[in-house]
């Protein structure tokens, strides 16, 4: 079995990657920004059914600093670079997102190259694929790249795009034999292991709580976090994944109304009010329409998109759960952990 570093093991995707690596028998190390987070990570893994003991170790490293990365990657065969800095509040300037994301990826890649790591799997996003384009009927695939200077491209979207571009450029210029594969997930759902989970989970939480009085015409790709983790593991070792990017999406994009109907029919506690096309009250209450938080939502209203995971299925044999099953698993885990009102 291999020795694998997972950056950001305390996060939603990172914790599920840890679970699957441990189950496969790998020796695993994960980075946290503060050593005090080790107990929280082990608690999430226990929630997922794992008691790794000495099979899992921790390294303290921050994507915005050089210190700790040489030690974190030392002796590793592979690196899953899952962590990505994301501020709790909207940045005043886009560089507050772009610079940490880009420089963090390069910091991990340099350390991996210098340590003789075989391959890095980078967690990118559909954000690096499907934005800044004119409307199109065809599903987006891995040949598409977000146009960073396109109309309505938000700072987070730009940061993911520029970070992935920088990673590929680094491999081409300075990789010295280091291999790179990239996973580009859409909205990530599925079972949460604790109160620290991705922003997309908030959508299901609000629908289950009845906190959304309307269903704005927003469309999301859905994929289960367990399938995202599984795709990382396939991209880590499959020779065919070298130098490739893989979209992770379970099926056609869904509207918020589609999501609410699925939750109501299969879980029974989705939003009870009739869907409308207006902005939901919770969004309007954030501030006036000049508020940046509201502006982040407005550009995507009424813009259906779609994407395909045909490449991941064909090349890596990836078989994700359905979008509906991913949403239901999200809701059931929120109920189980007492995270609903």
* Residue 90 pLDDT class (50, 70, 90 cuts): low
At residue 317, the pLDDT reads 98
180 DSSP β-pair partners: 120
282 occurs within a structural domain: no
CA distance 329 to 324: 9
At residue 212, the pLDDT reads 76
Token pair in block for residue 303: 């813009």
At residue 287, the pLDDT reads 33
Share of the chain above pLDDT 70, in %: 89
Tell me the average pLDDT of the chain. 89
Tens-digit pLDDT profile for residues 257-307: 999 999 999 987 444 433 333 334 434 333 333 444 445 556 778 888 999
Q: To the nearest 10°, report the CA torsion of 248, 134, 296, 303.
A: -70
287 occurs within a structural domain: no
Helices (H), 116-224: 155-174, 199-209
At residue 280, the pLDDT reads 42
Token pair in block for residue 289: 């329409």
CA distance 82 to 64: 15
327 occurs within a structural domain: no
Tens-digit pLDDT profile for residues 109-145: 999 999 999 999 999 999 999 999 998 999 999 999 9
Among residues 158, 150, 146, 167, the alpha carbon closest in space to that of 94 is found at 158
At residue 11, the pLDDT reads 93
211 occurs within a structural domain: no
75 occurs within a structural domain: yes
Q: Is the pLDDT of residue 189 over 80?
A: yes
* Residue 88 pLDDT class (50, 70, 90 cuts): low
Annotated catalytic residue within 92, 118, 160, 341: 160
245 occurs within a structural domain: yes
At residue 87, the pLDDT reads 57
Share of the chain above pLDDT 90, in %: 73
184 occurs within a structural domain: yes
Tens-digit pLDDT profile for residues 11-32: 999 999 999 999 999 999 999 9
Domain that holds residue 168: 3-190+222-250+306-321
At residue 298, the pLDDT reads 65
Q: Reduced to 3 states, what is the DSSP secondary structure of residue 287?
A: coil
Other CB atoms within a 10 A radius of the CB of residue 143 amount to 8
At residue 86, the pLDDT reads 61
211 DSSP β-pair partners: none
CATH number of the domain at 239, please.
3.40.50.720
Instruction: Identify which has the larger pLDDT, 302 or 86.
Output: 302
Instruction: Identify which has the larger pLDDT, 6 or 272.
Output: 6
154 occurs within a structural domain: yes
Per-residue pLDDT averaged across 46-64, rounded? 96
Q: Is the pLDDT of residue 318 over 60?
A: yes
Q: Is the pLDDT of residue 239 over 70?
A: yes
At residue 273, the pLDDT reads 37
Number of structural domains (the chain) is 1
Q: Indicate if 160 belongs to the active site.
A: yes
Angle, helices 12-23 vs 225-237, to 10°: value is 60
Distances (CA, A) of 253 to 37, 184, 239, 250: 35, 15, 30, 9
**Token pair 């009870």: residue:** 272
Cβ burial 208-247 (10 Å sphere, 16+ → b, else e): beeebbbbbbbbbbbbbbbbbbbbbbbbbbbeebeebbbb
């Amino acid at each position: 079995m291999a020795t694998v570093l997972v950056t950001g093991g305390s996060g939603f995707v990172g914790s599920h990657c840890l679970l699957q690596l441990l189950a496969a028998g790998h020796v695993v190390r994960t980075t946290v920004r503060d050593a005090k987070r080790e107990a929280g990570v082990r608690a999430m893994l226990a929630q997922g059914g794992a008691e790794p003991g000495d099979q899992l170790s921790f390294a303290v490293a921050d994507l915005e600093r050089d210190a700790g990365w040489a030690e974190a990657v030392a002796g590793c065969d592979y690196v899953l670079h899952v962590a990505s800095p994301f501020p709790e509040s909207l940045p005043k300037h886009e560089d507050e997102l772009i610079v940490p994301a880009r420089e963090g990826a390069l910091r991990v890649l340099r350390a991996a190259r210098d340590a003789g790591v075989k391959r890095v799997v980078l967690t990118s996003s559909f954000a690096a694929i499907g934005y800044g384009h004119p409307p199109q009927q065809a599903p987006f695939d891995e040949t598409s790249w977000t146009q960073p200077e396109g109309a309505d491209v938000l700072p987070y979207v730009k940061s993911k795009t520029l970070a992935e571009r920088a990673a590929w450029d680094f491999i081409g210029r300075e990789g010295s034999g280091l291999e790179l594969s990239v996973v580009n997930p859409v909205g990530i759902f599925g079972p949460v292991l604790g109160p620290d989970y991705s922003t997309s989970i908030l959508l299901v939480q609000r629908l289950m709580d009845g906190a959304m009085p309307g269903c704005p015409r927003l469309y999301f790709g859905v994929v289960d976090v367990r399938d995202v983790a599984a795709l990382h593991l396939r991209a880590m070792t499959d020779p065919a994944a070298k130098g490739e990017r893989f979209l992770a999406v379970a099926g056609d994009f869904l509207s918020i109304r589609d999501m609410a109907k699925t939750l109501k029919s299969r879980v029974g506690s989705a939003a009870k009010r009739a869907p409308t096309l207006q902005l939901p009250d919770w969004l309007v209450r954030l501030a006036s329409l000049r508020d940046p938080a509201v502006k982040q939502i407005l550009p995507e209203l009424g813009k259906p998109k779609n994407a395909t995971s045909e490449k991941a299925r064909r090349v890596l044999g990836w078989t994700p759960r359905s979008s509906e099953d991913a949403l239901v698993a999200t809701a059931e885990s929120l109920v189980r952990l007492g995270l609903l009102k």
